Amino acid sequence: MWQSEFVQEELRRLYPSCVVEILGMSTRGDEILNVSLAKVGGKGLFVKELEAALADGRADIAVHSAKDVPMELPEGFCLAAIGLREDPRDAFVSSSHASLEALPRGAVVGTSSLRREAQLRERYPGLAFGALRGNLDTRLSKLDRGDYDAIVLAVAGLKRLGLGSRVRAVIEPEVSLPAAGQGALAIECRAEREDLITMLAALNDPATAACVRAERAVSRALGGSCQLPLGAYAELEGADAGKVIWLRGLVAAPDGSRIVRAEARGPTQAPETVGQQLAQSLLAQGADDILSTLQ
């Protein structure tokens, strides 16, 4: 809802005569909280109902967390804009410990992400992990009542809801590589709505869009979903005129016993090509072996 209200205010600012109403909806991803996303259908659970509202005309646009948008959109839909990115990193949240390094052996870390769990298992083999679902308030309340010693969340979500003070430490990409699209907002509409696509272009951040498109291309090439512990994170390097995409990616066994990593660089004008190159590098290093065990 925060994301939708943010986009609503931006559209009102850009187009004062435009009436922008919010159609509040609950998705299956919001409702199924006792089972991991990997077991009940993955990220598409957060967008299917919204796409149905676009298809039948109840809604004109849908606002998503970019990391929740499936890599293959249904025919007739498009991402018209990808907004300026908030901090894409993961956050360490704990009431009694200052960092991952400070956690004692056997401490329980809550996370809903196989990607996070696999990377942290590799680096901190003495920790235990527990599934964590629900909205931010629910997750934080579970931590505060002692269900976990620490939890790992997205920095962006905490900041957007005014909960940035709960971040005890930011986890750098070298420790936990973010998910494709993490921290960015994506606005979806019907591909035939050229009027909306033109309007929404004002909300598109070209730098963020190039990075997210490269990240999504990696995940798309590897069949990325919640069932796959996959990280992909792009940054822009260089001066304005000569910036290139620096893209890092990984595929992991869920238990962290094996992680394949690679990186690639390429022009901002061809983000999908950079993503495909990185995916091929991961496959060449054995990512397909990991993927085959997850089918």
Question: Could you list the active site residues?
Answer: 68
Instruction: In whole angstroms, give the CA distance from residue 244 to residue 239.
Output: 9
| N-terminal to C-terminal alpha carbon distance within the chain | 34
Q: What pairing do the DSSP bridges indicate for beta strands 108-111 and 150-154?
A: parallel
Q: What pairing do the DSSP bridges indicate for beta strands 90-93 and 77-82?
A: unpaired
Exposed / middle / buried, residue 132 (Cβ in 10 Å: 0-12, 13-18, 19+): buried
